[in-house]
Structures are given as C-alpha cells and as structure tokens.
Amino acid sequence: MMPCIMLPTKQQRLIHHHHHHQQQRPAYPVMPLMKNLASIIMAKQRINFPYRCEQCGKGYQHRATLVRHTRHECGKEPQFKCPYCAHRTKQRGNLYQHIRTNHPGKSVFSSNI
C-alpha cells in the first residue's frame, strides 16, 4: 500500500484522505462557511456590546457610552479641533492624545479645546 503524499496543511491532508481513500467528499465541513463564521462573530458582538446605536449600529459595553455617542457623536461633525493643525475629533480625550503624539512639547490645554 502506497502512503499518502505530503500536503502542507491539515485541511488539505484531511480533504485528500477523504477523497483518495473513501472516494467521497467529507460528511462534515472541513472549514466553517464564511456566513457561519460571520454569524458567530456577530453573536459574540451582541454579547460583548449589548447596547447598540439604532442610527449607525455601533455597539457599546455600557449604556452611558451609548448615550454619549448618540448625543455628541452619531451623525454629527467632530467638535474638537486641534489648535496646531486641521485635525478634528469627536472626543476630547482623542484630541489630547493627538496633541501629545503629533505635537510633542506643545500645550495640551488651550482655550480652543
């Protein structure tokens, strides 16, 4: 009896084994279908981020974060502008991080923020 040829992945070896030795396709999926994988990911998202924005679909772990998003962010233009460049953001903390990262040595505190 001749041994199976070497194949690089377990998936390829399994497919080869079923096809070559049983002359049939595997009775079970070797790799989950992408739509099944997507549904698994979405189910995890619903568990980890139960609070969803009705307008855009973004998910949040905490209700307060969703409230902030709907009041100040969703569908609105960024309200925080960098005093040193044209960058704009919807959250003050992100603007502070932008200034510290992109404008080292410049003051994070400004009357424009």
Q: Please give the sequence-ordered ranges of beta strands (E in DSSP) within the chain, or none if there are none.
A: 51-52, 59-60, 80-81, 88-89
Q: What span, in angstroms and rounded, lies between the C-alpha atoms of 79 and 20?
A: 64
The pLDDT of residue 10: 73
Query: Model-level pTM greater than 0.75?
Result: no
**Residue among 101, 76, 75 nearest 87 (CA):** 101
pLDDT of 91 strictly over 70: yes
What is the mean predicted confidence (pLDDT) over 83-112?
Answer: 89
- Residues 44-79: pLDDT tens digits? 777 888 899 999 989 999 999 999 999 999 999 999
Q: Would you list the domain boundaries of the chain?
A: 49-76, 79-113
Question: Cβ distance 110 to 83 under 8 Å?
Answer: yes
pLDDT band at residue 1 using 50, 70 and 90 as cut-offs: very low
